[in-house]
Structure 1
């Protein structure tokens, strides 16, 4: 299984500048580059998507089982 490392960066004048040095990546490592078209999403739409993602995180994932304890309940058990 391939190990993927994601690091943000900026493309200028034909050169990609990474925001940080990747840990554990050897010189000559293969890369895939994806360009993000930030202009294609209006700031209001981006904020709406961001808020929707936060709401999804608050709701959690329904795994179909009994109600699972919250993080706070688990922390209380381990104190």
Structure 2
């Protein structure tokens, strides 16, 4: 009986030690996930800004840009 009690508490202490190690790593995991999310949003924003710049550069100039204002008589 004593051996069973010792075995049970030994296994329990190992499980608690493993759980503590896992819980100690969670803040780092959440911080890494936040940094990855921020990097993803920055990448998407940079791509959309680049696409907008390319669209503006490839757009044909409007006819009104090259015209001079009419001269006053």
Q: Same fold (TM over 0.5)?
A: no
Q: TM-score, normalised by structure 2?
A: 0.30
TM (norm. structure 1) is: 0.28
Higher strand residue share: 1
**Looking at CA atoms only, which structure, 1 or 2, has the larger radius of gyration?**
2
> Which structure shows the bigger proportion of residues in helix conformation?
2
